[in-house]
Structure 1
Amino acid sequence: MALLETLAVIVLVALVAAVAVYVKTRLFPLREGEEPREDVAEYISMMVSVFYALVLGLCLVSVWDNRADADDRVQAEASALHQTYLLADALPAEQRGPLREAARTYAGHVVDVEWSRMAERRPLGDEGWALLDRLRSAGELHGKGTTSQQIAAQEVLAQIGYVDDARRGRETAAEERLSVVLWAGLVIGGLLTVAFMFLFGLNRSSTHVILVMGLSGFIAFTVLLIHQLDTPFGTELGVSADPFTRYFSR
């Protein structure tokens, strides 16, 4: 619906502009002997190119920021989970094994199950949160324990809190996507930018062919790059699960 509403607004504004031009030419026609001004078309072409460059820049910044945020979240989550695993040495002997196993299980679930879901923009489900609750329960100190064990248990819970926060950020980053309004601007602006090249004496010379090919190819490349970065976990340019697999080798 948002895309249709955006296109409807664009078409409406274009029609209003067309009516304005028609009214102007009917009410204020060119005087006898007055030549039409070609620089108007050049000015419009220049403004379209400038606005399209702004849209491209905005889209690139938006998707890159989301990708960078996703990477930071993954790094923080894996690091905090690894610290939790290491802190198991300071807990009572009977709790070390369950805490380490819970940490390994959580990391395996993130890599084997959630990563493909994030790449496909599917909901992560509740399994990961249940495993995180299991990890938190395993890190709680059962019984009084020594002073050092109590301090370690508090640090374990603090690290699990970091895991929780980073996980929420990772889930949010996986669901973020570029606005349909910006996608409409990318497509329509690209078409207009290329179309305006045909207004200025374009012929079949090799120079013009190369210019059109170069501009069209570069616009296509930029749009594809934005599309790749718009899926922060699902493409060659996306965030990998290396932080988890590095700390928790399979």
Structure 2
Amino acid sequence: MNHVVSTLAVGLFAALLAAGGVVLWHHYRPAGEGGEEEGGDVVEYLSMMIALLYALLLGLALVSVWELRGDAGSNTSTEAGALHQMTMLADGMPPAQQKRIEIMAERYAVHVVQDEWPRLEAQQPLGEQGWVLLRQLRAVSEAPPDATPAQEVTALEMLGQLSVLDEARRGRESAAGDSLSPLLWAGLAVGAVLSFCIVFFYGVGRTWSHLVMLMGMVGLTVFLAVLIHHLATPFGDVMGVAPDPFTEYFPRAATAGA
């Protein structure tokens, strides 16, 4: 909630600042001074082109960060689902082995939620402990020497789920290091400056309706920039992916560190 309020406050401040700048510009530089009315058609065409190109750039940035967050959420759900499926398949193994599999699966879930997720939010490396736990889980999931045919099939199914889990974990780890291209950020900044500068050279702001539209444009631009910033960190603390799939299947993971 605090982030929402701060975002709205920043957008409102930027809108008011832009409106004040336009009022001062037209107060000290009245209409017609400097010949800004000449070539109005050309200026109008150029302003429309800049607005169109900037809208396309904003759309590209939003699609990119939304896909990034979607991939992070999908990999998290797949990883947790495969881990849970392994505990379900473990019912077909000998009781002692079933218990070991359940313990290792829960230990892995606790590690992901309590140790790895804070690192993901801080965009820090996850380390090797998670992979060590996966190797241990693989070792306890193998078929015992005296396994029945049914148990051998179950062991193969568990190893298949472990492969799915491994791939999803790699995707989650990769998504944590991805972000919006610095070149695209530069384009967004330049486009915002150009869009704002148009109002000083095209007569916008001489009426209250123009001023209100300007404030809306600036406020919306700031809101979209903040939205893109939050979505560009898929595991951030505002709009990031949460470890809910793990805590849903393994409730102890949510309270182990409490």
User: What TM-score comes out, normalization by structure 1 length?
Assistant: 0.83
1:201 CA displacement? 1.9
Amino acid at match of 1:111: V
Aligned to 2:86: 84
* Structure 2 unmatched runs, 5+: 1-36, 253-258
Contact kept, 8 Å, 2:205 with 2:214, in 1: the verdict is no
Higher relative contact order (CA 8 A, sep 6+): 2
The answer to whether the 8 Å contact 1:116/1:234 transfers is no
Equivalenced residues, count = 216
**Is 1:133 matched with 2:135?**
yes
Identity, in percent, stands at 47
Structure 1 residue 100 and structure 2 residue 102: aligned? yes
For residues 111-150 of structure 1, what are the structure 2 equivalents within 5 Å?
A: 111-150=113-152
What are the superposed Cα offsets for residues 166-197 of structure 1, whole Å, 9 maximum, x if unpaired?
Answer: 00011111111000000001111011111102
CA distance in 1, matches of 2:51, 2:248: 45
**TM-score scaled by length of structure 2:** 0.81
Cα distance per residue 1:193-234 (max 9 Å; x no partner): 111022122346432321221100000011111111101111
**Hey, what's the Cα distance between the residues in 2 that align with 1:203 and 1:43?**
18
2:60 to 58, 61, 64: 58
State how far apart, in whole Å, the 1-side matches of 2:203 and 2:243 are.
Answer: 52
1:1-250 to 2 correspondences below 5 Å:
36-203=38-205, 205-250=207-252
- The one-letter code matched in structure 2 to 1:176 is D
**Rounded Cα–Cα distance in structure 2 between residues aligned with 1:247 and 1:203:** 57
Shift of 1:121: 1.1
**What is the rounded CA distance, in whole Å, between the counterparts of 1:235 and 1:192 in structure 2?**
32
Q: Retained in 1: the 8 A contact 2:85–2:161?
A: yes
Secondary structure at 1:142's aligned position in 2? coil
Aligned-partner Cα distance in 2 for 1:249–1:94: 22
Deviations 1:65-94 (A, max 9, x none): 111111111111000000001111111122
Superposition RMSD in Å = 1.4
Asked if the contact 2:69–2:231 (Cα under 8 Å) also holds between the matched residues in 1, the reply is yes
The answer as to whether partners of 1:60 and 1:226 remain within 8 angstroms in 2 is yes
CA contact (8 A) 2:199 2:205 kept: no
Match of 1:10 in 2: none
What is the alpha-carbon distance in structure 1 between the residues aligned to residue 76 and residue 205 of structure 2?
52
Where do 4+ consecutive residues of structure 1 move more than 4 Å? none
